[in-house]
Amino acid sequence: MAKFNKKPGGEMPEISTASLPDIVFMLLFFFMVATVMRENTLMIQNDLPYADQVEKLDKKDLVMYIYAGKPSENYKQYGNVARIQLNDKFADVNDIAAFIAAERASKREELIPFLTTALKVDKDANMGLIGDIKQELRKQNALKINYTTKKGSVFGRN
């Protein structure tokens, strides 16, 4: 019965690793596709409020983002009153006009009427700031706005 003798040593057969690159590439592609790149580095707290009557904001290239909120931990030297952030910098209400003009200049002319301003404002900001932003947007004739929110019921949140 020599046939059934175990091999000396009895080591496990090696698992082929030829497919490991495939798996790695698959993961890579998956993350490449699913990741949304953040356009701006946020310097403010940006905990959006909740709402449930929301519409989707499609056509990302036609959206201008205005952020507002308290400066985050790393930027405490800017105080703890809610501020506006445009692109990567803190800004003043007066800077919105230049920001809108720059955004408009970077788009094709026929697309300008479809530009939407997305207001990404921290839920604890006060309406004074937002009122100022809105007034400024009206002056610049950028009338389409979107209050960006998280999806969820408005009740029972603090």
Partner 1 sequence: MAKRAAPEVNAGSMADIAFLLLIFFLVTTTIETDSGINRRLPEIQPDTNEPVVLKQKNIFTVLLNGKDQLLVEDELMELKDLRKAAIEFLDNGGDGSCSYCHGKKDPASSDNPDKAVISLKNERETSYKTYIAVQNELVAAYNVLRDARAQALYGQPFTKMEANLNDVNWPGNKTKLKEQLEKIKVEYPQKLSEVQ
Q: Measured from the CB atom, is 29 or 88 closer to partner 1?
A: 29
Closest CB 88 distance from partner 1, rounded Å: 19
Please give the backbone phi and psi of residue 52, each rounded to the nearest 5 degrees, phi first: -120, -5
Residue 104 parent element (H or E): helix 95-105
How many CB atoms are located within 10 Å of the residue 131 CB? 11
Query: Which residues of this chain interact with partner 1, rule CB under 8 A?
Result: 2-3, 5, 7, 13, 15-16, 18-19, 22-23, 25-26, 29-30, 33-34, 36, 49-58, 60, 63, 116, 118, 121-128, 130-131, 134-135, 137-139, 141-149, 151, 154-155, 157
C-beta of 33: minimal distance to partner 1 in Å? 6
Report the b/e string of 24-40 with b at 16+ CB within 10 A.
eeeeeeeeeeeeeeeee
| Shortest distance (Å) from residue 73 CB to partner 1 | 20
CA atoms within 13 A on the CB side of 112: 13
Q: In the bound complex, what is the minimum distance in angstroms from residue 40's beta carbon to partner 1?
A: 13
Q: Can you give the length of the chain in residues?
A: 158
Task: Tell me whether residue 77 or residue 121 sits nearer to partner 1 (CB atom).
Answer: 121
